[in-house]
């Protein structure tokens, strides 16, 4: 019983983000995900082109 009382007291201390903060955080996660995907795509393409040039596979 004491445990559940303490859990309840701790749960009351939780501060939830506002709708605006949640929205901004969500948008930032998507933007960073897209930037990371673009970065890794470009690195992958660059390495692929470089390896093809070195090994002469692009002819």
Task: Dump pLDDT digits (tens) for 37-49.
Answer: 999 999 999 999 9
Query: Averaged over 14-30, what is the pLDDT?
Result: 96
Cβ neighbours for 58, distance < 8 A, ≥ 6 positions apart: 49, 52
Q: What pLDDT score does 49 carry? A: 92
Q: What percent of the chain has pLDDT over 70?
A: 97
pLDDT of res. 59: 61
DSSP state of 56: T
Question: Residue 58: what pLDDT?
Answer: 62
pLDDT of residue 56: 86
> Does position 57 have pLDDT exceeding 70, yes or no?
yes
- CB contact set of 57 (below 8 Å; sequence gap of 6+): 51
């Amino acid at each position: 019983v004491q445990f559940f009382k303490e859990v309840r007291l701790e749960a009351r201390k939780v501060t939830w983000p506002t709708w605006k903060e949640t929205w901004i955080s969500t948008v930032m996660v998507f933007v960073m995900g897209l930037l990371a995907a673009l970065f890794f795509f470009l690195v992958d393409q660059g390495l692929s082109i470089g390896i093809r040039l070195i090994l002469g596979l692009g002819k």
